[in-house]
Amino acid sequence: MRILWKWAKRIAIFFFAFSIFQVVLLKFVPVYFTPLMFIRSAQHLFVGEPTGWKHKWVSGDQISKYLPQAVTASEDNLFLEHIGFDFTQIEKARADAEAGKRARGASTISQQTAKNVFLWPGRSFIRKGFEAYYTLLIELIWGKERIMTVYLNSIEMGDGIYGAEAVAQAHFGKSAKKLTRKECALIAATLPNPIRFNSAHPSKYIVRRSHRIMALMPKVKSVDIRRDE
């Protein structure tokens, strides 16, 4: 038991040191790939489909000012006010689950960023625990500007498409900096399920959802990622 306890402590110390190193490094270094990119490629390979992904990291000043507004309005309208977790939404999601209603997401942009960059998809308690840990780390070390920049560069925005620049080129034939308010709202509207929904060919549901997002955009407080240089 003493040997096991000794090795457990060593593993724990190594994990904490390595995780802090990861987060500090990625505060300054672009995120060129995420675990989800490899997982999706493996899934495509398994069913005999083409593998690979479209992704290009760009700085905050190369992304339309409307995109942070749109994703904040769509995904996390208290992004600038919380410390990584929206406990009000978490409680609402728990209450809905207990009432037998359809499951609803309560993850903040910070949580989604932590999951996308450092972890794997899943709903296990272990994975959620790691997500909470990394969420606190990036809130403390990165700050809101860096979290939003990494989020917009790494999140899945289509089948094999990751980040603002890739989706702008693939779906609208332009750079992320030139995306219009309407296009940013369409992209944000697909984020709950970017594999099912396509911002280039939006369904009636996505168009309606994008209109609601555009109406909310002027009302939410949005981070200025041009300062993340």
Please report which residue ranges of 49-100 form alpha helices under DSSP H: 66-75, 87-98
Could you tell me the two tokens for 85? Answer: 């977790």
Annotate 214-226 with DSSP letters as a single string: HHHGGGS----GG
Measure the CA–CA gap between 184 and 193, rounded to whole angstroms: 16
Using CA atoms, how far apart are residues 89 and 76, in angstroms rounded to an integer? 10
Residue 101 DSSP label = P
- Residue segments in the chain with a per-residue pLDDT below the cut of 50: 104
Cα of 58 vs its chain's centroid, Å: 15
Q: Taking the model in full, what pTM does it have?
A: 0.91
pLDDT of residue 52: 82
In percent, how much of the chain has pLDDT > 70? 93
- Do residues 223 and 79 make contact, with C-beta atoms less than 8 angstroms apart? yes
The pLDDT tens digits of the residues spanning 141-156 come to: 999 999 999 999 999 9
Number of domains in the chain: 1
Residue 101 is predicted with a pLDDT of 58
Domain that includes residue 10, residue range: 2-227
Q: Which H or E element spans position 54?
A: strand 54-55
Query: For the segment 24-52, what is each residue's pLDDT rounded down to a tens digit?
Result: 999 999 999 999 999 999 988 888 888 88
CA distance 167 to 159: 10
- The CATH number of the domain holding residue 149 is 1.10.3810.10
Query: Running DSSP on this structure, what letter comes out for residue 158?
Result: E
Q: Residue 169 corresponds to which tokens in the numbers above?
A: 């080129």
